[in-house]
Amino acid sequence: MAEFSHFDDKGNAKMVDVSEKDATERAATAKGSVIMRPETMALILEGGVKKGDVLAVSQLAGVMGAKRTPDLIPLCHPLELASVKVELSCDAERNAVDITAACRLKGRTGVEMEALCAVSVAALTVYDMCKAVDRGMRIENIRLVHKSGGKSGNFEGL
């Protein structure tokens, strides 16, 4: 059975020592959605949100979120990210902004948390920009959908 890697033998939190790991190509992709009222979706599609272009601002926020992951998650290693791509798309049938973030690097530890953080920050930014008209929005289904590289190999989620 797998064990938690962020605790020592006494149960104290610790940063994982990756100094002996080989640097390999690593990638991770995460997804999530912000569900809203149809009127809110219409405002986004029409460019009628007073704070500005919701999708462009949220995309930039997601990239910044990936870069700031070790500042937000206490035991994450600071990483030299080679690539962060954040895409937002509107699904008018579901009244949803769907978010995908993909991170890549060559390093000693994975980029799953950076991809998840990018989606989370992008979703929070959508919420922040639209909350004046729709406080009932829901951030849903943030999850890892792909991970490659490193000793643990590949992961494909839903």
Point out the residues that are catalytic.
Answer: 128
Q: Provide the sign of the torsion angle of the four alpha carbons 67, 68, 74, 77, taken in this order.
A: positive
The rounded distance, in Å, linking the Cα atoms of 147 and 156 is 7
**Closest among 56, 54, 72, 53 to 116, alpha carbons compared:** 72
**Closest among 107, 21, 108, 119 to 69, alpha carbons compared:** 119
Q: What angle (nearest 5°) sits at the alpha carbon of residue 149, between those of residues 148 and 154?
A: 40
* Token pair for 94: 């579901």
**Closest among 140, 141, 129, 125 to 40, alpha carbons compared:** 129
Q: What angle (nearest 5°) sits at the alpha carbon of residue 130, between those of residues 121 and 32?
A: 40
